[in-house]
Chains A and B, each alone.
Chain A
Amino acid sequence: MEEISLQLLTYVNMLVFIMLYVFMSRYRKVVGFHLGMNIAMVTGGMLSLSVGVLLMVQYTFHFIAITCLSTILGMVAGGIFGALFDYQTMLTGLSNGLMVGIMAPMLGAILINPFLFIVMMEGLICLMIALLVISLRRS
């Protein structure tokens, strides 16, 4: 039961970020470069953090493979979200996604009781997505 819920949570996280990309590509003409840089940093870091921690809690024996996967996923997410706006925005989001994604599986390996941490992390991700949507609607 617990394994199925963790796998479902990982899938839902990736799906939410794909929906956020489709929602954001409608507002790309309105957003200035400063808000675009913040959006690229936040989305790359959040996606790689959640994927790294959730995969490391499930499969404990594959440390290097999970590190490579979460780093590449964070770089691709930061680059794609930044490429909506500018080239320098893409560079900033890519480097920030790399830095968070290479640290995330080590955080997942330390945890002894991972339930509370995962609940708090999902709450923070929901808060950040709500802030992003509000600041997009007001711009």
Chain B
Amino acid sequence: MFIVIILGIFNMLTTFICYFILRRKRALFGDRYAASITKAAVSVSALVVGIHISSAFTIHPSFIVLCSIMYGGVVGILFGALVKFHSILLGFYQGVLGSIMGVMIGEVLKNPQLCSIPLASAQQQFVMIYQMCGFSSLLLLFVFMLILYSLRV
């Protein structure tokens, strides 16, 4: 579980570095551009960090949901308040939705009998958790690379 926690901290750092890069160039944005960037960045970041938080710790699920929803709401309000306070509502909604979905995927990975997924052996559960976390980290890097590339288009 140590690798999963390190990957989760790395994903949070990527999100905040992207936020500060976007904040330096916020005078260039229009209304529609701010809305589309808020939707893409907040939904993907809340989903991936929700998967990592939920599959790393083994505390009670309601507390995990509380922490994940707080992270999603804070990131949504930060990205929504970049330009003109128009897209705070969209950012908060997408953050809460993405974090609830991420917690659901993490709970299924921790206990595959919830969805009646058959396992070949007992070792396969940890392999499933590592594969899913690595794949979602790659997705987050790809999407943030596309968002930073859109400053030049």
Chain A residues near B (Cβ < 8 Å): 33, 60-61, 63-64, 67-68, 71, 87-89, 91-92, 94-95, 98-99, 102-103, 106, 109-110
Contact = CB atoms under 8 A, between A and B. Distances in A.
**Main DSSP-derived SS at the B contact region:** helix
B116 A109 contact: yes
B40 interface: yes
Contacts of A87: 150, 153
Contacts of A92: 36, 39-40
27 contacts: A33-B32, A60-B117, A64-B135, A67-B132, A71-B135, A71-B139, A87-B150, A88-B150, A89-B36, A91-B36, A91-B37, A91-B146, A91-B150, A92-B36, A92-B40, A95-B143, A98-B47, A98-B139, A99-B44, A99-B47, A102-B47, A102-B105, A106-B105, A106-B108, A109-B115, A110-B115, A110-B116
A64 B125 CA distance: 11
B54 to A, nearest CB: 13
Interface of chain A, helix or strand or loop or mixed? helix
Contacts of A63: 112, 117, 128
Given A99-B47, A103-B105, A61 B120 contact: yes
B58 interface: no
A95 B43 contact: yes
A72 B23 CA distance: 30
A64 B135 CA distance: 10
Nearest to B40: A95
Interface in B113-142: 115-118, 120, 128, 131-132, 135-136, 139
Contacts of A99: 43-44, 47, 98, 101
A64 B108 contact: no
Contact of B117 (A33, A71, A94, A109): A109
B10 interface: no
Interface string B24-52: 00000000110011011001100100000
B118 A60 contact: yes
B74 interface: no
B14 to A, nearest CB: 16
A60 B98 CA distance: 26
Contact of B146 (A64, A67, A94, A110): A94
A36 B118 CA distance: 41
Given A60-B117, A60-B118, A88-B32, A94 B143 contact: yes
B83 interface: no
A78 to B, nearest CB: 11
A95 B35 CA distance: 13
Given A88-B33, A95-B43, A95-B143, A106 B153 contact: no
Q: Closest 9 A-B residue pairs measured CB to CB?
A: A95-B40, A88-B36, A109-B115, A91-B40, A64-B131, A87-B153, A92-B36, A109-B117, A63-B117
